Structure 1
């Protein structure tokens, strides 16, 4: 069937509104030909999203029966219960839009709401808003924790680098194999600790990968002897290998 975009009308029969609400206007004639009652739709017919259409139709009649949605005959509001099973039962465009805003605010079908209305007024339900607030609070707490951990680790790095610089400046002799093993064990254990987790599964730091540690060191100590991506990755790999062999 040819695609037929949603069309607004001054008033609608409930089935016409439901078809537009479900986005099935292109199938309108096929749907109307396949049903015998406008109110009680068959459980299944050969039509896409048929269950969604039935739900939309039931919602409209539910609004009418419970007095939430004004109705009438051929576009004239009467609220006559004798019309509930009549083919002449109609709802005006204005009443339908007002009812949907009040009872289904997350729905903004194109036949009732203009494109600018759908874009300018995105709907966030109370439940969604509460979930977003909880998620934001959790993310903020995690970020604060990461900042504290980063500060502690930064202080440790500063101390370690200062001591390393002092040792290198004072030591005029080549480093011994024993000393190198000691330094590699220290570096490897600190790196594993930074990238590790507590028994409860809590990360010890905000760093998740070795690459993140290397990037942070370069960002803070670019220009310091040995603080290059190639050197750091090489030393880290050697240190972790040595530590694994030891354990």
Structure 2
């Protein structure tokens, strides 16, 4: 069984040390696939030494000329077939450029042009005007927005949790009132003993809701007894005996009843 290090072709490393004759470099720069370069160059015509013109690829000639011009002006290092950069004059037909030097030169002189044979996908999608300082500023702004989003999500979670608790308390209160209403409706005219029992129940519930008993805290949903009456009137609109006016009479009556013992 082959090991991973036996199967690694080191294509990236090989490409790093690649050297290209000027027409080949120009052809690759034009986007011609590496496997088709020789065929396409065979269709081209020399208009000058190592400057080729292609009938269907108009960028080939100007890019050949641009590379030669950069070599002539000492901007782009040049070598012969051995790949060793030299300051000596090299005949145009023998001029070779390294992949590394070609990439650096194109990045400096043509920052918007990032051919795939030199630049990876990330490099091709990174705008040349974004400097390290600009990137750090953008990242800091992005991180700050991410933090604000996390805080907003936490506040939403807390609000939803509080809403759920309030709804649970409301439903519990509604169930208590429904139970009391059902008991009251069991007889149209309750007897004196039953009436006192109901009033005592109401008074006991009021004391629990108002936090009037030792160790019992005021119900957080109702700031006052008037608020409780208002909510019952709203939530149980149409129920017999649960109007605001009737509750305003019954609550004091219930308190007097339980105080009388």
TM-score (norm 1): 0.44
The structure that has the greater radius of gyration is: 2
TM-score (norm 2): 0.42
